[in-house]
């Protein structure tokens, strides 16, 4: 996996942890432990980003409206400092207290406008780790070695699944990069180009969008080419203008960073996770120090399998299932009954009259049936 990471050419790591669910307490740390303090000491030039969804979860403890969420995302997704300052001023006019709270978080940790182009990624969320953690649910209640074996076998399966997808891909770029480039090619037709006689171009488009592209430095003033490694619509408009004037520009994918090339993606999955023999055939360690297993601790209550969701995720799912205040209504012998929705999004059995499967009377079930007559 380390060799595959080195081959993918993108210095971008996600850090996260998942709690063990079985009798042995602890955490499964994804990628590395120690996080911010250790990284700042060992890699002082590293860029540290916070997950915007977790920032929003903290904001929702005080400010829960959708308007606050929209202002937060607008500020975070702005790619230039000028646009970021303008949107932050709008947030200040909307809610000064929320603005002051957000301003305390250093912008270089959560706003695209303050990211450098080193990582070739404008990612704002920690979905990179969250998706991986969701696949480990079945292994988190196992003993430590069994849990690690579950992760190893999952990685073997994942690499095979990715290779199957790669074999179906056509073209020089990855599927995600191809979709973004197709969209940018379509939008580039809306821009007019002005050449300054050297390597710089001025682009004018709809909504008073005017940007400057420097082809020698391979940067655009919108910073999207720098942040993602994918030529933006302004750059593609420049390439179209150069082609119309008879200049040789080459293939479009040559202006895309190599991290988005299909061959780079395949190179990251050339290295495989090796299968191993069963535990009975493992060699006995000659280490003089005997490592004792952790203390067995029975967890209270019913074992939990699902990932612990935040309040924002629960409210979002509740809104998708309906308005949330009341559920459906059914007409029965006892009249109209309301199914109240619980906080988890499921329907409760409160106020529901049960019917016995033995005597067919209402008010009790088969386990407590004594042949009594219902009301």
Decide if 41 is inside a domain.
yes
* Residue 179 sits in the same domain as residue 162: no
* Residue 99 sits in the same domain as residue 153: yes
Which of 213, 237, 255 marks a domain boundary?
255
* Residue 50 sits in the same domain as residue 127: yes
C-beta separation of 126 from 17 below 8 A:
no
Q: Residue 334's pLDDT band (boundaries 50, 70, 90)?
A: very low
Decide if 370 is inside a domain.
no
- Residue 22's domain spans which residues? 12-168
Element at 336 (helix H, strand E): strand 335-338
Which of 104, 133, 168 marks a domain boundary?
168
**CA pair distance 220, 202, nearest whole angstrom:** 10
Name the 3-class secondary structure at 241: helix
Please tell me the pTM assigned to this model.
0.76
> Mean per-residue pLDDT for 352-361?
83
* Residue 189 sits in the same domain as residue 154: no
**pLDDT of residue 137 exceeding 60:** yes
Which of 255, 272, 291 marks a domain boundary?
255
* Residue 156 sits in the same domain as residue 19: yes
**Angle at the Cα of 187 from the Cα atoms of 184 and 189, rounded to 5 degrees:** 120
**CA pair distance 335, 338, nearest whole angstrom:** 10
* Residue 18 sits in the same domain as residue 155: yes
Decide if 127 is inside a domain.
yes
Beta bridge partners of 27: 19
Decide if 338 is inside a domain.
no
* Residue 17 sits in the same domain as residue 115: yes
Residues 93-133 pLDDT 10s: 999 999 999 999 999 999 999 999 999 999 999 888 888 88
* Residue 162 sits in the same domain as residue 182: no
Decide if 353 is inside a domain.
no
Q: Tell the residue number behind the tokens 């998706």, with chain if given.
A: 131
* Residue 245 sits in the same domain as residue 179: yes
Decide if 89 is inside a domain.
yes
* Residue 138 sits in the same domain as residue 218: no
Q: Tell the residue number behind the tokens 């005597």, with chain if given.
A: 359
Predicted local distance difference test score (pLDDT) of residue 111: 97
Predicted local distance difference test score (pLDDT) of residue 156: 95
Residues 57-86 pLDDT 10s: 999 999 999 999 999 999 999 999 999 999
Give the orientation angle of helix 52-60 with respect to helix 66-77, to 10 degrees.
150
Number of domains in the chain: 2
DSSP track, 266-313: HHHTSS-PPP---GGGSPPP--SSPPPPPPP-PPSSSPP-SPPPPHHH
* Residue 147 sits in the same domain as residue 182: no
* Residue 241 sits in the same domain as residue 123: no
Decide if 273 is inside a domain.
no
Largest CA distance in the chain: 97
Residues 236-251 pLDDT 10s: 999 999 999 999 999 9
Name the 3-class secondary structure at 73: helix
**CA pair distance 176, 180, nearest whole angstrom:** 7
Decide if 123 is inside a domain.
yes
């Amino acid at each position: 996996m380390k060799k595959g990471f080195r081959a993918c050419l993108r210095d971008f790591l996600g850090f996260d942890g998942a709690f063990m669910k079985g009798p042995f307490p602890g955490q499964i740390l994804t990628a590395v432990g120690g996080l911010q303090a250790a990284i700042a000491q060992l890699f002082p030039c590293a860029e540290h980003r916070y997950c915007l969804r977790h920032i929003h979860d903290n904001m929702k403890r005080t400010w829960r409206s959708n308007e606050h969420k929209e202002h937060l995302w607008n500020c975070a997704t702005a790619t230039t400092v000028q646009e970021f300052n303008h949107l932050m001023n709008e947030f200040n006019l909307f809610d000064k207290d929320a603005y002051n709270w957000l301003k305390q978080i250093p912008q270089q940790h959560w706003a695209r406008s303050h990211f450098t182009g080193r990582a070739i990624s404008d990612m704002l969320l920690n979905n990179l780790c969250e998706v991986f953690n969701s696949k480990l649910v079945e292994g988190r209640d196992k003993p430590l070695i069994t849990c690690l074996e579950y992760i190893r076998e999952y990685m073997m399966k994942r690499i095979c699944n990715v290779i199957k997808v790669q074999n179906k891909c056509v073209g020089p770029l990855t599927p995600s990069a191809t979709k973004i480039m197709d969209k940018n090619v379509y939008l580039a037709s809306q821009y007019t180009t002005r050449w300054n006689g050297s390597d710089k171009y001025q682009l004018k488009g709809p909504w008073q969008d005017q940007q400057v592209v420097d082809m020698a430095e391979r940067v655009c003033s919108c910073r999207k080419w720098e942040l993602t490694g994918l030529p933006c619509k302004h750059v593609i408009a420049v390439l179209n203008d150069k082609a119309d004037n008879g200049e040789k520009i080459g293939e479009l994918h040559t202006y895309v960073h190599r991290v988005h090339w299909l061959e780079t993606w395949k190179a990251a999955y050339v290295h495989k996770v090796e299968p191993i023999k069963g535990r009975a055939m493992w060699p006995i360690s000659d280490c003089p120090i005997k490592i004792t297993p952790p203390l067995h601790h029975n967890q209270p209550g019913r074992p939990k399998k699902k990932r612990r969701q935040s309040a924002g995720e629960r409210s979002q799912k509740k809104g998708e299932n309906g308005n949330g205040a009341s559920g459906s209504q059914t007409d029965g012998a006892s009249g109209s009954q309301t199914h109240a929705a619980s906080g988890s999004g499921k329907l409760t059995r409160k106020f529901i009259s049960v019917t016995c499967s033995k005597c067919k009377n209402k008010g009790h079930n088969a386990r407590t049936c004594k042949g009594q007559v219902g009301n």
